[in-house]
Amino acid sequence: MTALLYFLVAVVAVGLSVGSFVEDRQDPARQAFLAFGGALALAYVGFSLSLLPGLGAMRLLYLLAGCAVAPTAVWTFDRCFLRDEETTRTPSFVLAGTILVAPACAAAHAWWSDGLSPSPASLLAGVWALATMVVALRRLWNAQQRTHLRIDRARMRWMFGVVTAAVAFTLIEQLGRLLAPVDPSTLSFSSRAVALQGPVPPISAIFAGLSTYFLYHTVVMSRLLDVTELLSRITTVLLSALALVLVDGMTFLWVDTFTVFPFHSTFQILLASILFLAAYDPLRSSIAWWANRAFDRRSYQLDAALDQLERALPTLLEATDLVEAVLDALHASGRASTCSLYLWDPHQDGFVCAGVRGQPAQRPLAVVSAHPFTDRFERGAPWYLVSTIRRRAKHDPQYAEVLALMEAMNAELTFPLMSGQTVLGWLHLADEAWTDGYSAEQILHLQAVSQKASVVLANLESFAALEEQKRLAALGAMSAGLAHEIRNPLAGVKGAAQFLQQDPGLGDESQEMLQIIVDETDRLNEVVSNFLDYARPFELRLAPDPLNDLVERTSALVHAQGLPAGVEATVDLAEALPVVPIDAARMSQVLLNLVRNAIQAMPDGGALGLRTRVGRDRTGRRGIEVLVSDTGTGIDPDVLGRLFVPFFTTKSDGTGLGLAICQRIVQAHGGAIDVATTPGRGTTFLVFLPLPADPPTHTDEEPR
Ligand code: ADP
């Protein structure tokens, strides 16, 4: 059992340190923690094996790894607690000392190893480990005193206490072994491990395991383990263990012939344990729930609010309901004094703040552009925790940008709302009342609920899009028929008016009236033709026509038609633009329409720009882009959402079909059309056409 305990702590140390390292290999604190976990695990594995018969040679592994435990602890503490102080580096004598002491120990072990415990080598290693551990504890204590937050200081003292206990018990156990040396060759198999451990049981291993667990929390969550949280977990485990002891104890008493039939009786106890565990499994979460409720009230409240939200999510019918439900639940939980939810708005080319709760010191940003905030979410980052981002921002400018945005949005913790690899939005939380941040469990629970909210949101959005599509399809079929019915009589009306115009006996006034009839029927006919263009299904005639040529042709046509006075046109074509198959006639219709709108938006003149380039869309698809820009009136934010709606126009003589047709044509090419505008300063329409057969990629190339 003694050897097993050391071995278990070694497994825990390896599991925690490797687990944290794999999550983020670049983090210096995790690298140091990996070294600490590795050294501790090797030392304990060496020691536990050396307790077993025939494996006394493993003592050398224990000694060598033991020499490295304290130095790696100093290194980890420095990187965890003195992160912000660039001047405080791990003292070089710690490293140099380890390099000197470890071989000296190995030599002493080889020279004086007579099988007796303790040996001079273990004395040397012990003195070295103790001295370095004192350095580690001193640095931890100093860091604790420099911490400004009261709650953090209290926790660091806890950490200090646990590590000190581990060191003190190791010392006591070693002293015990020193004062009562044993000769392992005389020991029986069953008594060897206990005798070699010495008179004091291996309490140090429990504290070493606890210290590793505390450190893990500091490294992974950038926060110290909440003591209440720890208590709640220990209580859960303790209650479960007590219940098992009770059941097994009763079985043991009931089977009172244990010594007579040891095999049968062990089997009965095993059976009772299995039955207990099977029955206990459903009870486990209730026990955890009660312990949580008793010791960690805040977590309990958050869990309860999140559970309730999870139940409500599937009943929501609209995205706005979802925003309200999520924010209300989080705010009511008492664990998010400020929370906000951002959703993608294609018309603003950014994420718009859809709702806020709490009293943020600063209002959150209204619109946030996609990159670089979404970049890491698209690559699989499950959340942004401000303390982690702050640490990484020191070395990585991309993280610095993310940090600046998080601070501007008052966020402490951000979860993405994803649909596949596309970011639909995100959820921010901050809790000003508690400076201790969120625990690992709370973050995981919040993440699970955000994922569910993402699924519901994606379904709601595609449902709304489907409804709209159906409505438009029905309307399209109906109105296409109607348009035909209008065009035929129109032709008759125009023909009749033109016939009457030929009568020489008509006065000037009548001629004028007939001309009005002809002009207006022409206009009406144009509207109907445009509408048919929009409503009628069409097939693209695709051919690999260079987009640059098309833009040049459009520019020449616009110049030939004559630019209004004061409008200057420039064309900027990207070199070596890839060629994609397009329907040149329809794409030219798109460009002419965008150019016409741009010119109309600059009644007093301005700059008209036509530009091509290679770019990526929001999902990471590579493609070619045409940008049509003007320095005209710009577009009001309340109009922006309706630009592509058929018949929406702000012009007295407009049909409101131009942009709707453009969008339809571009979408038929598999592309998208976007707009960026600043009222009073101008507008840019961007037409994106994807490159064929290009799988979605996510590189660090300059995003749009
Ligand atoms: P129409 O030009 O017939 O009004 P469109 O669908 O082409 O129809 O445009 C719809 C509306 O979009 C316009 O009425 C105008 O308000 C707005 N719009 C389009 N392009 C621009 C632009 N470049 N600058 C400002 N507003 C624009």
Quick one: 555 and 438 in the same domain? no
Tally of domains within the chain = 4
Top-confidence residue, 91 or 512: 512
Sheet holding 567-572, edge to edge: 567-572, 606-616, 622-630, 682-690, 672-678
Backbone angles phi, psi at 235, to 5 degrees: -60, -40
d(CA 577, CA 624): 7
Asked if the structure places residue 13 within a domain, the reply is yes
Top-confidence residue, 103 or 258: 103
How far, in Å, from the CA of 589 to the mean position of ligand 1? 15
Asked if the structure places residue 195 within a domain, the reply is yes
Residues 6+ apart with CB under 8 A from 20: 30, 33, 34, 216, 219, 220
pLDDT, the chain, mean: 81
How far, in Å, from the CA of 184 to the mean position of ligand 1? 92
Residue to mutate, 594, 610, 659, ligand 1, most ligand atoms under 8 Å from C-beta: 659
How far, in Å, from the CA of 646 to the mean position of ligand 1? 11
By the 8 A CB rule, do 83 and 27 touch?
no
Q: pLDDT at position 442, please?
A: 79
Which atom from ligand 1 is nearest to the alpha carbon of 654? 3
Asked if the structure places residue 701 within a domain, the reply is no
User: Is pLDDT of 686 > 60?
Assistant: yes
Quick one: 146 and 247 in the same domain? no
Asked if the structure places residue 696 within a domain, the reply is no
Asked if the structure places residue 699 within a domain, the reply is no
Residue to mutate, 533, 602, 643, 655, ligand 1, most ligand atoms under 8 Å from C-beta: 643
Domain boundary among 501, 519, 537: 537
Quick one: 348 and 463 in the same domain? yes
CATH number at residue 579: 3.30.565.10
Q: pLDDT at position 183, please?
A: 67
- With bands split at pLDDT 50, 70 and 90, how would you rate the model's confidence at 515? very high
Cα dist. 621→544, 584, 612, 704 in Å?
A: 19, 22, 17, 12
Cα dist. 77→28, 89, 225, 318, 556 in Å?
A: 11, 11, 15, 49, 69
Closest residue CA from atom 16 of ligand 1: 650
- With bands split at pLDDT 50, 70 and 90, how would you rate the model's confidence at 702? very low
Asked if the structure places residue 22 within a domain, the reply is yes
Quick one: 208 and 290 in the same domain? no
- With bands split at pLDDT 50, 70 and 90, how would you rate the model's confidence at 256? low
Domain boundary among 521, 537, 553: 537
Asked if the structure places residue 134 within a domain, the reply is yes
Which of 237-241, 373-377, 444-448: highest mean pLDDT?
A: 444-448
Quick one: 549 and 529 in the same domain? no
- With bands split at pLDDT 50, 70 and 90, how would you rate the model's confidence at 432? low
**Which pLDDT tens digit goes with each residue over 85-94?**
544 566 677 7
Residue type, 518: V
Which atom from ligand 1 is nearest to the alpha carbon of 598? 23
Quick one: 320 and 450 in the same domain? yes
Domain boundary among 225, 245, 264: 225
Quick one: 93 and 19 in the same domain? yes
Quick one: 629 and 640 in the same domain? yes
Q: pLDDT at position 258, please?
A: 62
Strand partners, 117: 182
CATH number at residue 426: 3.30.450.40
Q: pLDDT at position 703, please?
A: 32
Q: pLDDT at position 598, please?
A: 96
Closest residue CA from atom 7 of ligand 1: 658
How far, in Å, from the CA of 650 to the mean position of ligand 1? 7
Model confidence, pTM: 0.45
Residue type, 200: V
Quick one: 385 and 278 in the same domain? no
Ligand 1, CB cutoff 6 Å, lining residues: 593, 597-598, 601, 630, 632-633, 635, 643, 648-651, 654-660, 683
Top-confidence residue, 71 or 195: 71
User: Is pLDDT of 697 > 60?
Assistant: no
Quick one: 174 and 70 in the same domain? yes
How far, in Å, from the CA of 643 to the mean position of ligand 1? 7
Top-confidence residue, 293 or 205: 205
Q: pLDDT at position 87, please?
A: 45
Closest residue CA from atom 11 of ligand 1: 649
- With bands split at pLDDT 50, 70 and 90, how would you rate the model's confidence at 226? low
Which atom from ligand 1 is nearest to the alpha carbon of 593? 7
Which atom from ligand 1 is nearest to the alpha carbon of 632? 24
Residues 6+ apart with CB under 8 A from 334: 298, 301, 302
372 is in which domain, residue-wise? 315-537
Q: pLDDT at position 263, please?
A: 75
Quick one: 251 and 219 in the same domain? no
Burial of 301 (0-12, 13-18, 19+ CB in 10 A): middle
Top-confidence residue, 84 or 511: 511
Which atom from ligand 1 is nearest to the alpha carbon of 644? 6
- With bands split at pLDDT 50, 70 and 90, how would you rate the model's confidence at 701? very low
Q: pLDDT at position 587, please?
A: 94
Quick one: 523 and 392 in the same domain? yes
Asked if the structure places residue 306 within a domain, the reply is no
Which atom from ligand 1 is nearest to the alpha carbon of 630? 23
Worst-scoring range by mean pLDDT, 416-420, 687-691, 694-698?
Answer: 694-698
Q: pLDDT at position 298, please?
A: 67
- Look at residues 304, 300, 298, 326 and name the one whose alpha carbon lies nearest to residue 313: 326
